[in-house]
Amino acid sequence: MKPLVDKELCVACGECIDACPVGAISVGDECAEISDECTLCGMCVDACQYGAISMPDVGTGADEDLSRYKGVWVFVEWRHGTVHRVSYELLTVGRKLAEKKGTDLCAVIQGHKLDGVEKDLFRYGAKTVYVVDHPSLAHFTDEIYGNVLVELVRRYRPEILLAGGTSTGRSFIPRVAAMLQTGLTADCTELDINDEGLLLQTRPAFGGNIMASILCPYRRPQIATVRPKVLRAEPLDMPVDGQVVRPDLPGACFVSRVEVLEEQVLEGPGANIAEADVVVSGGRGLQRKENFAMLEELASLLNGAVGASRGAVEAGLADPSQQVGQTGRTVAPVLYMAVGISGAVQHVVGMQGSKVIVAVNRDPEAPIFDVCHFGVVADLFEFVPAFIRKIRKERGEEV
């Protein structure tokens, strides 16, 4: 299969040749020709100003009546006694999607000794909360969490299912999608309902350099994950008068081939880096391990965490748990301060989702300034202490 070229519309301009990432297009005298090298990425379709190229039909017909699926569901992530913030963010966007579709928002929560945490979910507009409380859900396993969610989806048939792009969601939601034989779009940054009533899922690809909008037209539910802090959580003024349903599930759901031996919540400098609203990261520019102390002071003033570039970690200036980037953690805080970090792409992909990025670097040519919102060309050893003094002064603290 290849994209179709409409010979009437094609003017042989050659724009599509540059657009093709695999070099599969050539232009003859009259129109573009696409070779077998084509990977059907669709870039040429977008590139053609004349609308001459279109994707071939994909005839994956529905083998079930899709209209039997109704409602927007959010998988609520419960962790050691609390609801993960991403769940509230998902309920907020789920509520908007449900309104647009004229359907109900429901929540599913799994865990053990949940003790009424479900009540909080009504504040975010959940009309029904499905609660599965079972000893074997006390610790996460892909198998049991997946089995339970699949069983509930088969029973109640939601049209849309949203889950957090956490280490839990990214691990077991693909199992859910594969068991249900439906599509899954990971790490969406935007969710909407299109004119046909389908879930329009937009996500970055190629390290954030390209955005893609994705549909799951013929399978249900349409499943998407969203990373924490990408969307905003907004409770309702008045909680919804909702119901709690405690479904009886077959014992087979609670059988896992995997045995959990131990779970550890790590302490250490990078422990809360993925959750923090403010991350102050240091690079090789810090020069010495002791100099990270001022970043720690700044971060603690803002109730934040301290991160580091790979360079800083490899030079022994910071702990590996603090590493932000492609081989480290991905963070998306409200404020990300990159101090003495040059801004290699491997670092940028781990922090580019941050709301506000501040770069402090002595080198005005440093690539970090291409991705920041506020750039400070200065000696960090002067700037950071001065910034700390400023915050303390504004708070009326002794400096």
Partner 1 sequence: MHIVVCLKQVPESQNVRIDPKTNTLIRQGVASVLNPFDYFALEAALTIKDERLDTKVTAITMGPPQAKEVLMDALSRGADDAILISHRAFAGADTWATSFTLAAAIRRLEPVDLIVCGKQAIDGDTAQVGPELATILNRPYATYVKSFEFVDDSHLKITRQTDEGVAVWRLPLPALVTVLKDVGEPRPRSYRATLRARRYEIPVWGPEELGVDEDSVGLKGSYTQVVRIFSPERKKDRIMLRGSVEEMVDELYYWLKEQRVPGL
Segment 319 to 338, residues that bind partner 1, using CB under 8 A: 326-327, 334-335
CB half-sphere exposure, 170, CA atoms < 13 A:
10
- 279 is a site residue for partner 1 (CB under 8 A): no
Stretch of 99-107, 128-136, 140-148, 234-242 contacting partner 1, by CB under 8 A: 140-148
User: Could you tell me the smallest distance in angstroms from the CB atom of residue 197 to partner 1?
Assistant: 14
Q: What SS3 state is found at 241?
A: coil
CB of 175 to partner 1, least distance (A): 5
Residues 172-191 that bind partner 1 (CB under 8 A): 172, 174-175, 177-179, 181-187
**x/- map, 334-373, partner 1, by CB under 8 A:** xx---------xx--x-----xx-x----------x-xxx
46 lines the binding site for partner 1 (CB under 8 A): yes
Residue 208 interacts with partner 1 (CB under 8 A): yes or no: yes
Asked if 296 and 303 touch (Cβ cutoff 8 Å), the reply is: no
* 41 part of the interface to partner 1, by CB under 8 A: yes
Using CB under 8 A, pick the residue from 195, 263, 290, 398 that binds partner 1: 263
User: How does DSSP assign 178-190, residue by residue?
Assistant: HHHT--EE-S-SE
69 binds partner 1 (CB under 8 A): no
For helices 169-180 and 142-156, the axis angle rounded to 10 degrees is 50
Q: Is 261 in the site for partner 1 (CB under 8 A)?
A: yes
As a whole number of angstroms, the distance between CA 125 and CA 245 comes to 16
284 binds partner 1 (CB under 8 A): no
Tell me: does residue 83 bind partner 1 (CB under 8 A). Answer: no
Number of residues that bind partner 1 (CB under 8 A): 112
Residue with tokens 């929560």: 109
> How many beta carbons lie within 10 A of that of residue 222, not counting itself?
27
Burial class (CB in 10 A: 0-12, 13-18, 19+), 42: middle
How many Cβ atoms are within 10 Å of 175's Cβ, its own excluded? 17
Under rule CB under 8 A, residue 230 binds partner 1: no
Distances (CA, A) of 94 to 19, 72, 77, 79, 201: 35, 6, 15, 21, 13
CB of 237 to partner 1, least distance (A): 21
Instruction: Write down the least CB distance from residue 263 to partner 1, Å.
Output: 5
- Smallest separation (angstroms) from partner 1 to the CB of 246: 27
User: Which of 67, 257, 290, 398: binder of partner 1 (CB under 8 A)?
Assistant: 257
Cβ proximity to partner 1, 174 vs 235, nearer residue: 174
Residue 42 engages partner 1 in binding (rule: CB under 8 A): yes
Element holding 1 (H helix, E strand): none
- Residue 9 CB, shortest distance to partner 1, in Å, is 18
1 touching partner 1, by CB under 8 A? yes
Tokens 């419960």 correspond to what residue? 78
Is the CB of 29 or the CB of 394 nearer to partner 1?
Answer: 394
Contacts of 190-199 spanning 24+ positions with Cβ under 8 A: 191/93, 191/97, 191/162, 191/224, 191/226, 192/97, 192/100, 193/97, 193/100, 193/101, 197/101, 198/222, 199/97, 199/160, 199/224
Q: Which of 54, 171, 287, 291 binds partner 1 (CB under 8 A)?
A: 171
